[in-house]
Structure 1
Amino acid sequence: MIAIGGSKTLMPVVSLFFGIVIRMYFDDHPPPHFHAAYQGFEAFVRIEDGEITQGSLPRKAARIVRQWALDHHDELMANWQRGIALEPLEMIAGADLDD
């Protein structure tokens, strides 16, 4: 787990691919989303459709993250539900392992 900004709030990494780090907070605010970070950029990405709702990513990284979110929608939603219940989150295969 990674402490963000030195706070006691932990945001576990749930996937890592092509240098893109995907994290989810426990008991986060709706709508269901995850945080994607890449080379100093950070974005909140809606699980429903893979759209960036806050922040930004470089265009190519944003396309990869969107497609990955669509491909792993069910796993992301399962992790969202685990996070709401304060249960351990599971790792999700990265886009570099997708067929």
Structure 2
Amino acid sequence: MPIVSMFYGIVVRMFADDHNPPHIHVAYQSEKAVYAFDGECLTGKLPRKQHTLVVAWIMLHQEELQAARTVCHGGEQPMRIEPLR
């Protein structure tokens, strides 16, 4: 599963053949969660601070996430998205 971004120990990935709704897979240490492109946590759980960072990152990059999903579903490697700094 391609890495789309990494920041503050958080790794964001996207599957090429994932189901709807559009979402990302996020890992922080041993914790994992799945987030929709609107920032909703669909499954799993991250610590509160990391959850807040992921939601903020999603809100900043919704258009890039949609574009990465389109590229991914076309069978290509999605582009990297700017991390939080």
| Cα distance in 2 for residues equivalent to 1:81 and 1:30 | 13
1:28-47, aligned counterparts within 5 Å? 28-47=18-37
Superposed CA RMSD? 0.7
TM-score, length of structure 1 as denominator length: 0.83
> Contact between 1:42 and 1:56, CA under 8 Å: does it hold in 2?
yes
> Higher Cα Rg: structure 1 or 2?
1
Percent identical residues: 44
TM-score, length of structure 2 as denominator length: 0.96
Whether 1:59 aligns to 2:59 is: no
Unaligned ranges ≥5, structure 1: 1-10
Q: Runs of 4+ in structure 1 displaced over 6 angstroms?
A: none
> Contact between 1:28 and 1:83, CA under 8 Å: does it hold in 2?
no
Match of 1:26 among 16, 19, 34: 16
Match of 1:84 among 24, 48, 73: 73
Per-residue CA deviation, residues 13-58 of structure 1 (Å, 9 max, x unaligned), is 01000000000011211100000100110000001x1111000100
> Contact between 1:35 and 1:45, CA under 8 Å: does it hold in 2?
yes
- Which protein has greater RCO, CA pairs closer than 8 Å, 6+ apart? 2
| Equivalent pairs, count | 85
